[in-house]
Structure 1
């Protein structure tokens, strides 16, 4: 009996088809979850987007019990995931590119690149010092896939990296601190780097109290999810010139025209493009092929984060 996988774009259908093991009985169908399903039964449904604002189709009507997401984050998915359906995230796809951007944002801010770019536009040669990354203490919230990828890339910059997770532990020789230690860690931080996922447990975790505990001139970098930061508190501290910000995720998204973050000094904005590099397409294809082939072999899919 063949395994049927629905994919939301023709490009994904073509890419996955080219890499599937021809010895396995796997059928790919094009379906973005809107309109009538293209067949009576689907084993693996891949939505174009997931979350509280993206309703799932009636997967029970096609006997589907497995959804493969295209993102690492899965905040809000549980609200729309039908009963009896498991959900896997796209771990292994986005971590590398997201970590690249995190390091790029830190370097851009710490080496004052926006200011030098403006001087270049003005045709002015003006030498300025900068904080740099070497010897800076970075308190990093989150030590999952993205956090570990960031840590690997920061190793060559001779920073003092202080990773923080839900519970304290020693992992791969690295001392990971617990969240309850954060208030004691913040006063000595040059940089607060957030790589936490979204959801109720992390909503506005970085609030006025956290920002107030940072020393003047500290850099805040959010590469996780926008709602983990209290935007009103962030704006208030920026207006006082206390902190700097270089982030990829924001609340709200997209940032509306006229939002104060667009015009405040000390802010570097990228529009949630952490995973959008040329590495995305081949890595996503490999994951989808792997999942489809595991199902065809009767094996459990990887990356299950919500179990039926």
Structure 2
């Protein structure tokens, strides 16, 4: 690709990154009110992390020279519409691999904490009460992973030592892996009734919005656990609330719809639900992986090599 302007916008100061190519002028912008330079001169835009979508897209309409938009998230729904309106040769790249370890760790944490009743034990501790309970183990359970990309694979990596009865994989299209088959989404009606734990890792697209809706949830077995480390709107909140309030299902949610979850929302008070505030990605594992990705992508860009993790902004 031909590069005529040289500005690169980064959400971290360039001096914190080792090995950046010297071809560019680096501008630090982490979503503040003032732009570091004219957006029209930006050719590579690394989107600020953990900022509201309206902040992330604010400079894009003026980035008439931009050739690459690089997110530091696995999901790109917060910028995809704005990128789709840019010139057709603009590449959108996600951060596949950056959040695998952190998100998979949290998925396993949510599974174990929910099954073993850790939130209840914390409440008992706060009340100074010694209350033993018989709780289900992860051992001998069947786990269904919906969304078998890099995060889904990392979740399975961490399930391996826990003596699960079975791990079943589902993705948009069927394929084979060294671990076994990956089933297509169309097979969910057959697979859901067999799972004790269902882990959602799928990206948010129009085809996955409210994927876990009334029909999906009704097919889950009584007492099954739904874990969402994907995006909030992958689950139909109204349908999930009905199942939680009936006592039939359990849920562990790192993401919600709406998000942030308002203080008075009924999900906070629903039985059998554990909620964390979208903390799957931001851990100590994030920074070194994100920095390596930025440097690698910029070196590829400078040398005219293909970039990694390109995605279609139109879904």
- Normalised to the residue count of structure 1, the TM-score between the two structures is 0.90
1:40-91 alpha-carbon deviations (Å, 9 max, x no partner): 6322111225857853525665522111111110125331111231111111
1:218 equivalent to 2:218? Answer: no
Q: Does the Cα contact within 8 Å between 1:71 and 1:89 map onto a contact in 2?
A: yes
Tell me if the contact between 1:42 and 1:64 (Cα under 8 Å) persists in the aligned partners. Answer: yes
Q: CA deviation at 1:298?
A: 2.3
| Aligned pair partner of 1:28 in 26, 49, 55 | 26
Contact 1:195 1:223 in 2 (8 A): yes
> Hey, what does 1:75 align to over in structure 2?
77
Q: Give 2:10's aligned residue.
A: 7
What is the SS of the residue equivalent to 1:245? Answer: strand
**Aligned CA distance change for structure 1 residues 75 and 302 (closer, same or farther; 3 Å):** same
- 2: distance between equivalents of 1:199 and 1:25? 36
Question: Contact conserved, 1:170 with 1:176, CA < 8 A, in 2?
Answer: yes
Q: Trace 1:59-138 onto structure 2 (pairs within 5 A).
A: 63-81=65-83, 82-84=86-88, 85-138=90-143
The whole-number CA distance in structure 1 between the counterparts of 2:78 and 2:284 is 27
Work out the CA distance in 1 between the residues paired with 2:23 and 2:72: 23
Aligned counterpart, 1:178: 184
**Runs (5+) with no aligned partner, structure 2:** none
- Count of paired positions: 303
> Aligned with 1:185: secondary structure?
helix
> Partners of 1:46 and 1:88 in 2: how far apart?
9
Cα RMSD over matched residues? 2.3
Contact 1:56 1:80 in 2 (8 A): no
SS at match of 2:143: strand
Q: 1:301 to 1:148 in 2, by over 3 A?
A: same
Does the CA contact (< 8 Å) of 1:141 and 1:196 recur in 2? yes
Q: Where does residue 282 of structure 2 map in the other structure?
A: 276
Provide the C-alpha distance between the structure 2 equivalents of 1:266 and 1:58, rounded to a whole number of angstroms: 42
Does the 8 Å CA contact 1:3/1:292 hold for their aligned counterparts? Answer: no
Which structure exhibits the higher relative contact order, with contacts defined as CA atoms closer than 8 Å and separated by 6 or more residues? Answer: 1
Measure, in 2, the Cα distance between the counterparts of 1:115 and 1:55. 41
| 1-structure distance, mates of 2:57, 2:190 | 42
How many Å separate the matches in 1 of 2:121 and 2:44?
49
SS in 2 for 1:200: coil
| Distance change in 2, residues 1:5/1:53 (3 Å) | closer
SS of corresponding position for 2:96: coil
Counterpart secondary structure, 1:96: helix
Over residues 13-38 of structure 1, what are the superposed CA-to-partner deviations in whole Å (9 max), with x where a residue is unaligned? 3322xx0257x434311235765561
Q: How far apart in 2 are the matches of 1:61 and 1:53?
A: 14
Q: What CA distance in whole angstroms lies between the structure 2 residues aligned with 1:2 and 1:173?
A: 46
Selected match of 2:208 from 199, 202, 206:
202
**8 Å contact kept, 2:44–2:70:** yes
Deviation at 1:280, TM superposition (A): 0.8
CA contact (8 A) 2:61 2:82 kept: no
The structure-2 alpha-carbon separation of the partners of 1:185 and 1:27, relative to structure 1 and needing over 3 Å to count, comes to: same
